[in-house]
Structure 1
Amino acid sequence: MKTNLIYLLISFLIVMLGSCNDSIEDASNKHVYSEDENPYLKSDIEAIIGHNIEFEVGRFEPQVIYLDDYANVFHDKMNLTVDEVVSGLKNESVVFYNINASRSHWDKIAPTKGESGWYYNSAGGITEGDQGYVASLEFDEINRQLIIDVNEAAEAGLETSFNVGFALNGPDYDDYVRFLFNVAVTDPSLIITSVTIPDGDYASASVNLYDYADVIAYNMGIDVDEFLSNLDANEEGTIHLYVVDRETGAWDAESSYTANPPGYWMNASGAVCSWGDDGFTLFAELNMDEGLLNIGRAPDLTAGSSYKISLGFRDINDEMNFVRFIITVTLE
């Protein structure tokens, strides 16, 4: 009886050891991903190349990242030159895909922009070009560069992020180089301020341009004195004052000055009008000697009324040089 128990125990141990060996063997084999599966993302901080990219409203131009600038990273992480990475994409020994960082896996979704790029929404998700995209990325194989751009309708305050990566093709994508892009839209040209106009017909309050010397220098490339001397008040100079639509941001390039130049009369909506027109409400005129933007009131306006106007100065020879004001006007 005791002998039978010993044999049973030995048999049980043999079966268990065999099962364990099978489990060990299974665990040591990497999972082979099918075409429809997204491989997991192996964590490797040293493989990440991060870029914080800012786009300025009114000055949107694609920004470029050159792969050659990171040749050492490709060598360390993929043991390839940049030339070999590009040629590997052609023979499919290298892949180029998005990375879903929140789920820690690669995203093999097909390009939605051209043959090797994608559009992204505000949450960093991949989308189509006609479905509310805010940013885009495309790989230029010939010039070996990543091109990042934003939708021309993107507004200041937008922030989004997305990841793409190059990896050796195989049972997994463990050997890779990853690019992380944090994209933001800013508006350094915008000055938001307010004035209170005292009681009285044609009374005014002032915005002192010298208070915003740094903003003017950054956006116009000149100091305030040069800025004032270049205004086109007498049909000379290259800097023009415009009324800007406060809702759409569109610059009114059609209207001539309707107040003392450079200056305008505006209605309650902030649109250009002339003195005496129905609804004429406010005027904006620049005192070029003192650098004061004077905002004044028409007669017979109600005390306590508030308006919002938008004005911009722009170089007519270089429309990338501009500065814009949004001014809240309150009447005493």
Structure 2
Amino acid sequence: MKHHLIYALISCFMLTFAACDDNIEDATSKHVYGEDESPYLKVNTNAVVTNNLEFAVGHFEPQTIQLSDYADKFEKNMNMTVDQVINGLKDGSVVFYNINTARNNWNKAEMTKGTTGWYYNSAGGICSVDDPTQTVNMEIDTQAKTFIVDVNEKATVGTVLTFNAGFAVNGPDYDKYVRFTFNVSITDPSIILTSISIPAGDYASYGIDFNKYAATIQTCMGMSVADFLANLDYNGDSGEATGKNIRMHVINPSTGVWDETSTYTAESPGYWINNLGAVCNWGATGYSFYANTKNKDHALYVGRAPGLTAGSKYTISVGYKDSKNTNNFFRFIITATLE
């Protein structure tokens, strides 16, 4: 009887050991992900590259990111050079996918822009080129070894979105990787908001110095303050236009609509403006301000009409646009207080 009990105990120990051995093997082996599975993203903060990209509405141009700038990231995290990564995309030893940060996994969705990129909607999700919410696109130029990021020409000011994509060594998992985070924002540098105080007295004025906004003029017009003024439709006190490329305009302060049909009604280039912010003539009902550009002073002067009440506030908007390249423009939105 004792012999039978000993044999039973030995058998139980052997079965238990075999089961434990299986569990140990299961716990240490890598999971092999199938084609339809989304691999888990192993957290590695040293493998993350963040790019903050601003696009100026009305002046959209693709932005490029050189992969060679992050060669050390590829060496440390993938043990590969940039050239090896690019070649790996061609032979399949390297994969390039989006990353779902909410679920902390890789998104193996197919490319929607060519063979090396995707289109993204306003929320940063993958979409097609025909999607009405399509906002940004990104792709790899394998020849130049760069990312190219561009925005839809219909993208609106204030749009902010983020998307993530990364390279990984292809294998049982994607733990050896470099991840790129793209923070995209649509801004409008063409608008200059300023408040001025106009001194007391009929026709008194305040001068706005263009040199304070040299960066805006360079960004929006593609030229220096001096070149901007040299190309301005300006003819001093004659009141006549010269036919040069850049014209001054009045803009509706409420709707942002440019008045591109009115001729100068004040000293050239300049206008009389009424209390609603529209072009008018001197002495017309509601005429309140004049705004004109003085080339020699590098300044925009805003002056008051006679008889206005001290302490009153008005909003006017004037801008400058290149008639030959209408993407080059900027404008002031001016809150004027009368002393």
* Aligned mates of 2:47, 2:60 — CA distance in 1: 29
Q: Secondary structure at the match of 2:331?
A: strand
Shift of 1:97: 1.0
**Residue 248 of structure 2 corresponds to which residue in structure 1?**
241
CA distance in 1, matches of 2:175, 2:264: 64
Quote the residue 1:190 is aligned against.
Answer: 191
SS in 1 for 2:85: helix
Note the C-alpha offset of 1:315.
5.2
The C-alpha deviation readout for 1:185-231, integer Å capped at 9, x for no partner, is 4444432112355788x7554242167255467546435x6655653
- Choose from 259, 263, 267 the match for 2:266: 259
Task: Kindly provide the amino acid, as one letter, of the partner of residue 27 in structure 2.
Answer: A
Task: Check if 1:312 corresponds to 2:306.
Answer: no
TM-score by length of 1: 0.78
Q: What TM-score does the superposition give when structure 2 sets the normalisation length? A: 0.76
Secondary structure at the residue paired with 1:46? helix
Partners in 2 of 1:325 and 1:302 — Cα distance? 24
- The aligned residue for residue 166 of structure 1 is 167
Quick check: 1:195–1:205 contact (8 Å CA) kept in 2? no
**How big is the shift at 1:288?**
4.2
Match of 1:240, as an amino acid? R
Secondary structure of residue in 2 paired with 1:113: coil
> Once the 2 structures are TM-superposed, how far is the Cα of residue 165 of structure 1 from its aligned partner?
1.1
User: Which residue of structure 2 aligns with residue 52 of structure 1?
Assistant: 52
* Aligned match of 2:137: 136
Stretches of structure 1 that go unaligned for 5 or more consecutive residues are none
Q: 1:291 to 1:93 in 2, by over 3 A?
A: closer
Query: For the Cα contact (< 8 Å) 2:211–2:298, is it kept in 1?
Result: no
Partner-residue secondary structure (3-state), 1:134: strand
Residues 305-324 of structure 1, C-alpha deviation per residue, up to 9 Å, x if partnerless? 65433222345576676542
Q: Which amino acid aligns with 1:310?
A: S
Whole-Å Cα distance in 2 between the matches of residues 211 and 83 of structure 1?
46
SS at match of 1:85: helix
Structure 1: how far apart are the matches of 2:330 and 2:124? 30
Instruction: Indicate the residue corresponding to 2:85 in structure 1.
Output: 85
Matched ranges for 1:15-26 at <5 A: 15-26=15-26
Counterpart contact for 2:274–2:280, Cα < 8 Å: yes
Q: Percent identity?
A: 51
CA distance in structure 2 between the partners assigned to 1:194 and 1:76 by the alignment:
52
- Separation in 2 of the partners of 1:115 and 1:270? 51
Classify 1:271/1:107 alpha carbon distance in 2 versus 1 (closer, same or farther; 3 Å): farther
Aligned mates of 1:37, 1:247 — CA distance in 2? 52
Q: Which residue of 2 aligns with 1:283?
A: 290
- In the alignment, the residues of structure 2 paired with residue 114 and residue 276 of structure 1 have an alpha-carbon distance, to the nearest angstrom, of 61
* Other-structure match for 2:181: 180
Retained in 2: the 8 A contact 1:188–1:215? no
Q: Which residue of 1 aligns with 2:333?
A: 326
Gaps of 5+ in 2: 236-240
Deviation at 1:7, TM superposition (A): 5.2
Instruction: Render the CA deviation track for 1:242-280: whole Å, top value 9, x for unaligned.
Output: 234546656544443232211123455544455577776
SS at match of 2:15: helix
Q: Return the letter of the residue paired with 1:119.
A: Y
What is the rounded CA distance, in whole Å, between the counterparts of 1:66 and 1:216 in structure 2? 26
Q: C-alpha displacement at 1:146, in angstroms? A: 1.2
CA shift, 1:48, in A, is 2.6
What pairs up with 1:149-160 in 2 under 5 angstroms? 149-160=150-161
- Alpha-carbon shift at residue 65 of structure 1 (Å): 1.7
Structure 1 pair 215/47, CA: closer, same or farther in 2 (3 Å)? closer
Q: Deviations over 1:272-291 (max 9, x none)?
A: 45557777654322344545
Q: Secondary structure at the match of 1:58?
A: coil
Q: Which is worse superposed, 98-107 or 63-72?
A: 63-72
Cα separation, partners in 2 of 1:210 and 1:93, compared to 1, 3 Å: closer
RMSD, aligned α-carbons: 3.8
Q: Do the aligned residues in 1 keep the contact of 2:217 with 2:330 (CA within 8 Å)?
A: no
Residues 289, 305 of structure 2: 8 Å contact kept: yes
